[in-house]
Amino acid sequence: MEEKITPEELKCLREFKASVFDVFWEKFGTFYIHIMPHQSLEIGKRGLVGEEKESGIILILGPRAVRDVSSQPEYLYAELQFGYTWEKLFIPWDAVFRMYDKNQSSVVQMRIFNEPVDFDEPGNKAKKKTITKKMDGESNVIQVDFGTKK
């Protein structure tokens, strides 16, 4: 079971990943970043293909294969070259699993979140409700369940 994370811890983790990325970008000519599948991950028109949909994708970042890099608080934006095609990538920090240099003398592995993290606020639990439709042929009554989270 996954441990709950607070908004402050998530913000700190994202800042840490961005800082590690900045260090790798400045200090290493070429390095690798392992991205796990995520709901908010965008890899241009290409997307994730084949086994990448389960195991993620390892991107090579270097001066010849990357242009227009921008580190934002919640995601990394970059344009990477796949073959002869340039693709725009929006990589949420929550999907960044590991970064390492070419010689693997520096490897950083971090916690990931496959889906956007939802923080329950104390007042929101009463507002959330799930509507389910009874599927047995006897009744067409819609039942409202106030106890389940969605």
The reported pLDDT for the residue numbered 142 is 52
pLDDT at res. 127: 40
* pLDDT for 130: 40
62: left (phi over 0), alpha (psi -120 to 50) or beta: beta
Record the tokens describing residue 150, joined without a space: 């969605």
Residue 8, Cα to own-chain centre: how many angstroms? 17
Query: Which residues of the chain register pLDDT less than 50?
Result: 1, 122-140
- 7-38 core/surface letters (b: 16 or more CB in 10 A; e: else): eeebeebbeebbebbeebbeebeebbbbbbbb
Q: Cβ neighbours of residue 143 under 8 Å, at least 6 residues apart?
A: 131, 132, 133, 134
Q: Is the pTM of this model over 0.85?
A: no
Domain ranges within the chain, ordered by starting residue: 7-117
pLDDT value of residue 135? 41
The topology under which CATH files domain 7-117 is SH3 type barrels. (2.30.30)
